[in-house]
Amino acid sequence: MGIQRLISGTVTLVAMWLAFIQVSQAQQPRIYNTVKEKLARGEQVIGGTVTSSDPDVYCAMANSGYDFLWIEMQHSPLSYQEVARMIWACRDAPAIPFMRVPDATAGDIQKATDIGVLGIIIPLVDTTEKISAAVQYAKYPPIGVRSQGNGQYRALWGDDYRDSANENIMMVAMIEAPTGVSIVDQIAAVEGVDVIMVASTDLGSFSGLRQGDERYESMVEEVRDVTLDAGLALGGPQAWRERDGFLFFQGPTDTNLLRLGVQRSLETLGGGVAAIEGAEEEH
């Protein structure tokens, strides 16, 4: 009788433990932002910069090996409708859509998230209020104040989008001026920031210093040290891939990639079999 009770009790405990595990797993949001996963593993990620409204260009870049695409809305005439069409046209591509929004406004950020963007890049972060507001606009309650709206996000990322979006949408704060460098510790402390990025060209423009200058490099080191100490990912231009601590990189624009591709094509010697028009290209 004692053995039967022991067995019965053990079975009950195992059943309760399995039920607890299932409930715990059900409460964990699904992660589909592969950039977030790679950064968590300490891997470098690179994003090509999109300025063209051509879906074919977008898809070519999204399937070329980039981890994400940096959709440029601050310094391009792209519209949200054009970007929505591009993302949808290549919805199964491995590159995750990120967007540098024109500014940290509710309209810009919520339009970006509604069309399915999973990374929001905020330019010219030189106050904690700016990046804090951006996080609020990008996240659903209870974390933020993003409102429910129409969009293609659920068709892109699944029916559990409302429950998983907060865990998948990443926030990138761009440090472009010495004023941002001076408060980078406060920026890094804002809950919801995932990446702090050194905007190399603009930091030089705002400071009047060139890369390599001791004072310029001192600012980069300060951003790096604070960012890494805060446990956040550190970003910069692709040319800085060999710099210590950097994991998140902005690659060339589509127009620059086209130029580089043409140069490579012209440098390729002739001979062999000509490509068959309409056939899928070999890589």
In the chain, where do the E strands start and end?
45-50, 68-72, 96-100, 119-122, 170-175, 195-198, 233-237, 246-253
The residue-averaged pLDDT of 208-214 equals 97
Please name the amino acid found at residue 55: P
Quick check: 223 and 234 in contact, CB under 8 A? yes
Whether 8 has a pLDDT exceeding 70, the answer reads no
The residue-averaged pLDDT of 154-158 equals 97
Indicate the pLDDT class of residue 25, thresholds 50, 70 and 90.
very low
Catalytic annotation, residues: 75
Give the mean pLDDT of the chain. Answer: 91
For 245-277, how does the pLDDT look when each residue is reduced to its tens digit (9 = 90+)?
Answer: 999 999 999 999 999 999 998 988 676 776 777
Cα–Cα distance measured from residue 124 to residue 127, given in angstroms and rounded to the nearest whole number: 9
The residue-averaged pLDDT of 64-84 equals 97
The residue-averaged pLDDT of 203-209 equals 98
- Which residues contact residue 55 at a Cβ distance below 8 angstroms, ignoring those fewer than 6 apart? 85, 86, 89, 90
Beta bridge partners of 98: 70, 119
Q: Is 273 helix (H, G, I), strand (E, B) or coil?
A: coil
Whether 68 has a pLDDT exceeding 70, the answer reads yes
Percent of the chain with pLDDT over 90: 83
Q: Is 246 helix (H, G, I), strand (E, B) or coil?
A: strand
Whether 20 has a pLDDT exceeding 70, the answer reads no
Torsion sign over Cα 107, 53, 205, 252:
positive
Residue 133 is inside which H or E element, if any?
Answer: helix 128-138
The reported pLDDT for the residue numbered 276 is 74
The residue-averaged pLDDT of 221-241 equals 98
For 92-145, how does the pLDDT look when each residue is reduced to its tens digit (9 = 90+)?
Answer: 999 999 999 999 999 999 999 999 999 999 999 999 999 999 999 999 999 999
For 44-66, how does the pLDDT look when each residue is reduced to its tens digit (9 = 90+)?
Answer: 999 999 999 999 999 999 999 99
* Domains of the chain (ranges, CATH numbers): 32-261 (3.20.20.60)
The reported pLDDT for the residue numbered 282 is 56
Cα–Cα distance measured from residue 183 to residue 179, given in angstroms and rounded to the nearest whole number: 7
